[in-house]
Amino acid sequence: ESVYEAQGLQKEYDDGSVKALRGVDLQIKAGEFIAIIGPSGCGKSTLLQMLGALDWQSSGTLLYRGKSLKDMPDPSVYRAREIGFIFQSFHLLPTFTAIENVQVPMFESDIPLGQRADRARELLKLVGLEHRINHYPSKLSGGERQRVAIARSLANNPSVLLADEPTGNLDSANTKSVMELIVRLREEKKMTLVMVTHDLDIARVASRTIQMKDGLIVNNSVPATSPQ
């Protein structure tokens, strides 16, 4: 079952003076863990933004479960209900506590108001932060902030996780534990995971590695050591 299908995907910025994607063809199946690697500026984040409907292609097609993302009537509902986002810089709201941040995507869900705080508490427990639920992001360490962001990404039980350098701002101990957490949650919840990373050790854990260069996919392979 195909989750994403891209054909001839191109993305230009600044009236065409920047060509971030130059014709990407890609199919992602349900349950895959894809690592996207490649040098800075090759288009990794741009591709992830297209998959998340945070931005739209200049030309080419991109389907999510057979439907064009570009033609979707309500992208904010798609983003909130189908996708969990994890960013390098966490993107938590500074004036919201941990438990409030986790509830933000629920604004776009049909989870009853009276159940949202309980659900957020459960998710914080799942990421090992039950003792931090009323802390503001500024009072949390980097690893803890990313755990809050991971709990938030699960708010509406998404089927896809999109992660852009999720360990890029973490030290090596937190990198290891945050990666283990993401990998475990993905397995437990049977999510499709697409992760941009510079870390080849992380890429090795993935079921498929996609290497990009200058806005194109230059290598698309299942590694010999792959778990599936």
Residues near ligand ADP (CB under 6 A): 13-14, 18, 20, 38, 40-46, 87-89, 91, 164-165
Q: How far is CA 151 from CA 43, 56, 139, 146, in A?
A: 27, 27, 17, 9
* C-beta closer to ligand ADP: residue 42 or 126: 42
* C-beta closer to ligand ADP: residue 47 or 133: 47
β-sheet bridge partners, residue 194: 34, 162
| CA 64-212-170 angle, 5° bins | 90
Least separation in angstroms between CB 131 and ligand ADP: 26
* C-beta closer to ligand ADP: residue 89 or 157: 89
Q: How far is CA 163 from CA 59, 78, 87, 214, in A?
A: 24, 16, 6, 21
Q: Which conformational region is residue 196 in: left (phi greater than 0), alpha (psi within -120 to 50 degrees), or beta?
A: beta
* C-beta closer to ligand ADP: residue 119 or 164: 164
d(CA 71, CA 126): 35
Least separation in angstroms between CB 115 and ligand ADP: 29
Least separation in angstroms between CB 214 and ligand ADP: 9
Least separation in angstroms between CB 206 and ligand ADP: 17
* C-beta closer to ligand ADP: residue 38 or 60: 38
Least separation in angstroms between CB 23 and ligand ADP: 14
β-sheet bridge partners, residue 63: 5, 68
Q: 50: closest CA among 17, 86, 15, 9? A: 9
